[in-house]
Amino acid sequence: MLAAIQYNSKKLQIDLSLPIDISIPLSASKRNVNAWYLDAPTIEPAKDGEQIVSVAGGACVNFNNIFFNPHAHGTHTECVGHITEHIHSVNQNLKQFFFLAEVVTVAPEKLNGDFVISKKQLKFAIGNKKRDAIVIRTIPNTKEKLTAQYSHTNPPYLLEDAAVYLREKGVKHLLIDLPSVDKEKDECALLAHNAFWNTKSEIRLDATITEFIFVPNTVEDGVYFLNLQIAPFENDASPSKPVLYKVIN
């Protein structure tokens, strides 16, 4: 189903019948993707006294409780409230849900024993394109990312200058296939988070960071129309379901 969309004075044609879901589903399994030293999420029937509220347990409905952390257990979208003392809700600050996005593939480079993404790499990948959202796929890009256990592994991360570059380029929504844009253990410096949200000056309340995505290798680098869907949690972060549509024209 082709749709013609007027977006910021541009006429885009996309095929709504070919969505590309780049989220990682959450499951009650130790193979669920994980970070930040937490146990696996749980999904289990509620109890009414001694009765388990599930159809298999004799109830008329399934009625599950779900325990998880959005930052640790799957694809999530966060706002500046993730790193500020003042409470900011992603549900209150993300008011638009469709964006022109560029998918770029980057091979993190080694620096002082870490693997990092630099400003130079992003400038090369993005060029002179102006996009609302940047979707970063890191390589190697294997299906192991869907079940990776990242705690104590020091995954790749963005250098501060890379985050500054994206902010100054006007990118409002940063999506990446890593558990964080910052180093796992950095003594709370959170350089990339702070730089992207501009916390030392005029804070970008409407900017978001989405982590733990997965972009299949079949998806080519290039321009896409992004639908960034979140659950309406009044919290700094929410589970999310970013969906890409290839721009045809």
- In this predicted model, what pLDDT tens digit does every residue of 111-134 receive, in sequence order? 999 999 999 999 999 999 999 999
Please give the domain boundaries of the chain with CATH numbers for all domains: 2-39+70-246 (3.50.30.50)
Sign of CA dihedral 99, 100, 105, 109: negative
- In this predicted model, what pLDDT tens digit does every residue of 186-232 receive, in sequence order? 999 999 999 999 999 999 999 999 999 999 999 999 999 999 999 99
- In this predicted model, what pLDDT tens digit does every residue of 72-99 receive, in sequence order? 999 999 999 999 999 999 999 999 999 9
| 249, pLDDT greater than 90 | no
Q: Are 185 and 150 in contact (CB under 8 A)?
A: no
Q: Can you give the length of the chain in residues?
A: 249
- In this predicted model, what pLDDT tens digit does every residue of 43-57 receive, in sequence order? 999 998 889 999 999
| pTM value surpassing 0.95 | yes
